[in-house]
Amino acid sequence: MWLSAGRSVSPFKGRALGKAISDHRAPAPAGFPSGSRRKSRSVKETADIMYIPQHVGIIMDGNGRWANRLGLSRTEGHRAGTENIRPVIEAFVHHKVQCLTLYAFSTENWARPWPEVRGLFHILGKVIDRESHALHEKGIRIRLLGKLEGITPALQRNILKALEMTKDNDIMVLSIALNYGGRAEILDAIQRIMAQNLPPERVDENLFNSYLYTAGLPDPDLIIRTGGELRLSNFLLWQAAYSEYYSTSTLWPDFNGLEVEKALMAYSRRQRSFGGLESKPEGSAPPPRH
């Protein structure tokens, strides 16, 4: 999830952060809008991506460690992480990924110091307000996975505005897992099913899926975790039963277009059997030729 290990909150130093980001990152990819990170590689290398996942989930970890390495505050790390969201989205759009889910704030993150949580909510609100128009113009639909209860009123307003603005878009579904926990989602689904007084024989996987926050979305084919950890951290527990898992030591603020290609290439080379015989990645297709 977005909040990660590091130092305590300090006031944001815009110049220091801007210099750290510019010193620490490579140029934007050719053909990508401004803000993307690296030049694209050769056609031969990109052609190695034979199958594209329909749905990718990302556990965005490492903001605090990124800031700590550069002598910056945790707030500055979170700000760098939010600045990285748009170029990563653009990279997945470029590869024709249809659904992208970003783990922004977990139900467990409420245990963090309130100044840090409040600072992250403030940053998120500004980014959503700023970027929702650009995402709307690109045909990206924004969805919320999680609950608005407890979220600051300003952030709630920005989220609801973005959801309404982009609700009819169909190029990509961008789901933001905010105030989200996989166990809480499952319990919430069970409680709502029980409230309907449905007979037990009616409850199957299809019905259960319809009560989850992800109702209508395909299960994730690929789960990416930045920052080097090897756990799901309560992310899409039901939906990720057969997801391929990819962990990279790259910290989230440094996860760029090249890292996206590495993850997609690793996924493309795997065989998914779903308990049966080996097969090609289900729900995947060769990338379009450019």
DSSP class of residue 188 equals H
pLDDT of residue 116 exceeding 70: yes
Residue pair 74/14 in contact (Cβ under 8 Å)? The answer is no
Q: Mean per-residue pLDDT for 64-73?
A: 96
Q: Average pLDDT of the chain?
A: 84
Residues labelled catalytic: 61, 109
Read off the tokens for 14: 């815009």
What domains can you pick out in the chain, each with its CATH number?
Answer: 54-268 (3.40.1180.10)
Amino acid at position 137, single letter: E
pLDDT of residue 55 exceeding 80: yes
Residue pair 49/93 in contact (Cβ under 8 Å)? The answer is no
pLDDT of residue 235 exceeding 60: yes
Q: Which of 115, 50, 38, 108 is nearest to 280 (CA)?
A: 50
Distance CA(209)–CA(95), nearest Å, equals: 27
| pLDDT (0 to 100) of residue 21 | 44
| pLDDT (0 to 100) of residue 48 | 74
Tens of pLDDT, residues 171-216: 999 999 999 999 999 999 999 999 999 999 999 999 999 999 999 9
pTM: 0.81
| pLDDT (0 to 100) of residue 281 | 55
Distance CA(71)–CA(74), nearest Å, equals: 10
| pLDDT (0 to 100) of residue 63 | 95
